Amino acid sequence: MHRDIKGGNLLLTKDGVLKIADFGLARGFAKVSNSNFTVRVVTRWYRAPELLLFCHKYNEVIDVWSIGCFIAEMFIGNPLFRGRSDLD
């Protein structure tokens, strides 16, 4: 799990190859015996609903949510969910 997918961490080469950067929050979820993770991951605008609802057991689907938010942002030109807090 990357746990911080956002535009700043997605790099595109001149040849059109997508590269993912910044693995500081990444975790190998299959190798962790305790599946209770922190919910304070991912930039707020790209945070999956389960994280906003404080679910400490999650998997790679939080990255899929973040990717979807970023793709929507590319199409509409603005972040999809512009919250200033978790409640927003």
Q: What are the residue ranges spanned by the domains of the chain? A: 7-76
Mean pLDDT confidence for 77-83: 88
Long-range pairs, 77-81, Cβ under 8 A, ≥24:
79/45, 80/45, 81/45, 81/46
DSSP code of residue 14: T
Q: State the pTM of this model.
A: 0.77
| Amino acid letter for position 43 | T
57 or 72, higher pLDDT: 72
Question: How far is it, in rounded angstroms, from Cα 39 to Cα 78?
Answer: 24
10 or 87, higher pLDDT: 10
Which residues belong to the active site? 4
Mean pLDDT confidence for 59-85: 88
Question: How far is it, in rounded angstroms, from Cα 11 to Cα 51?
Answer: 25
Mean pLDDT confidence for 51-72: 87
In CATH, the number for domain 7-76 is 1.10.510.10
Per-residue pLDDT tens digits for 5-58: 888 888 889 998 888 888 878 777 666 555 678 777 888 888 889 888 888 888
